[in-house]
Structure 1
Amino acid sequence: MSGGWAGSTRRSELPADWPERRAYVLARDEYRCRWREQRTVCGRAATDVDHITPGDDHRHENLQALCRDHHAIKSSREGNAARWSVRMTRPAERHPGLI
């Protein structure tokens, strides 16, 4: 699966007032990207609103405005981390002496 919301159920998990929350966060952050690299804030034009901490915490304090590029980077990192956490789990090996 490649690209954005294709095959995702995430949109249906957003609260009914998501458009209002999104508008509030963009205005609060002055339509500027809040992505931080060390001590520098990106500051480019923000088009997306993203959760700071992944999950279902939709409070304004957990939302930030991001430019499209930084939102893609963050989403990719989170998606890769989720895939690797599933791949890296396997059943514990039985002790050779107990076989």
Structure 2
Amino acid sequence: MAWYSSNRRSELPPNWAIIRQRVIRRDRGLCQGVLSEGALCGHPGTEVDHIRPGSDHSMGNLQLLCTWCHKRKTQAESRAGRADKPMPKTHIPRDQREAPPSPW
């Protein structure tokens, strides 16, 4: 996650470092990401991730992911979030646009 452009760090609880270490220990330092074939990734984990977005910092909502799995999950959540938003008013489908004025 790009912390320099995010406010997520300010939303973490004061004891985040302790919670983070508990998640790392619980997951034995291994990525809990599930690969397409259903197996766990198992690479060394570096990112403590919220399974469900939001401010639920309980152990049941946290998992350890490697950088690759975390990036993949974040991108999927971002795409899903954008899909829920309506198209900006500046985008008008080509077949619905007014014809430009004739230059002649």
Which TM-score band (shorter chain)? 0.7 to 0.9
Identify the residue that residue 11 of structure 2 maps to in structure 1.
13
> Alpha carbons of 1:6 and 1:85: their partners in 2 closer, same or farther (altered >3 Å)?
farther
Report the TM-score, using the length of structure 1 for normalisation.
0.79
SS in 1 for 2:64: strand
Which residue does 2:26 correspond to in 1?
A: 28
Distance 2:61 2:29 in 1: 16
Q: Distance in 2 between matches of 1:83 and 1:14?
A: 24
Structure 1 residue runs of 4+, over 4 Å off? none
SS of 1:74's equivalent in the other structure is helix
- Matched with 2:59 is 60
Answer 1 or 2: which has greater strand percent. 1
1: CA distance between counterparts of 2:46 and 2:61? 17
What is the identity percentage for the equivalent residue pairs of Structure 1 and Structure 2?
41
1:40: which partner in 2?
39
Aligned with 1:36: secondary structure?
Answer: coil
Counterpart amino acid of 1:85? D
Instruction: Give the RMSD, CA atoms, in angstroms.
Output: 1.9
For 2:30, the aligned partner's letter is R
The TM-score normalised by the length of structure 2 is 0.75
Aligned length: 88
Unaligned runs of 5+ in 2: 90-104
